[in-house]
A and B are shown apart, each in its own frame.
Chain A
Amino acid sequence: MTAIANHFSYWATLFIAIAGLYIVIARGNLVKKLVGLAIFQTSVYLLYIAPGKLIGGTAPIIADKFAVYSNPLPHVLILTAIVVGVATLALGLAIVVRIKEAYGTIEEDEILAQEQPALQQTADNKM
């Protein structure tokens, strides 16, 4: 019973990570894949922040009234991660827009279907 209480935060994190991973693998739509990646990323935020929490502690802003503070280091790392995450997200969406311009669709299956005849043709030419 205590094992469950002690590790619940990790398991909640894991659930989010698995959901994100599933969306990334199972869905063919490129925008949906990016949403999945973003969800996976938030699970990493939780993975870092949750162990830094101390029950009875406060946010790490020094004041005379408080003696126990949560660990500030993961907070700093995750602040950086969030900002970098949104930068990579913008880059990914820009690539999706380019793919849409080039293929007229953002569905993986349709892109592959368009690519397949071209690939076969080059293979035939080589032979």
Chain B
Amino acid sequence: MMAVVTVVIARQRNLFAVVILFGIYSFLMATVLVALDAVDVAMTEAAVGAGISTILFLSALHLGKGIEMKPLHRPFLPLVVALATGAALAYGTLGLPAFSDSEAPIHQHVAKRYVEEGARETGVPNIVTAVLASYRGYDTLGEVTVVFTAGIGVIALLRRVRGRRRGGKP
């Protein structure tokens, strides 16, 4: 189902439809994440991916025209590039551990300790929260810095537009 939505997004030229389809896609992705036991991530994806991103896209579309131009050149070259990249990556996956392999390196190192000791050390039963706020608190601080910088960037970009418009009028 996600594959179908993705292909339709690629083919659709009405940008409004593309944005709404992207919202549907985000909800489907959230469902997949629930199936993969990542409930916190799924919640964030549903709220941020399907909610805030859609609102951002819609407010940007408000300013432009809603129809994409017909592409001028043939889509063969991009398709070949994308498929070649995909083939190389698919070859690479053959060396990766199998799905749900509990002996895989990802389950052996620090994650094991988080699950075994995290609840006792931090007092938070939800390990994702414990790691996010306690063990890797500096990461979260850095994340907030990035969001803050992006916010400043958006304000700087959009304020200049308004200022120039006001100055341009007699």
Contact = CB atoms under 8 A, between A and B. Distances in A.
Given A25-B82, A61-B125, A80-B139, A31 B61 contact: yes
A2 B101 CA distance: 13
Interface size of B as a range:
35 or more
B127 A19 contact: no
A110 B71 CA distance: 11
B33 A39 contact: no
Interface size of A as a range:
35 or more
Contact of B99 (A9, A31, A79): A9
15 contacts: A21-B81, A26-B78, A27-B68, A28-B71, A29-B15, A31-B15, A32-B68, A50-B99, A58-B37, A62-B125, A70-B37, A75-B40, A76-B132, A79-B128, A91-B150
A121 B7 CA distance: 42
A29 B110 contact: no
Contact of B6 (A16, A72, A90): A16
A25 B71 CA distance: 12
Nearest to A9: B99
Chain A interface main SS type: helix
A54 B18 contact: no
Interface in A67-90: 69-76, 78-80, 82-90
A28 B6 contact: no
Nearest to A26: B78
A6 interface: yes
A11 B90 contact: yes
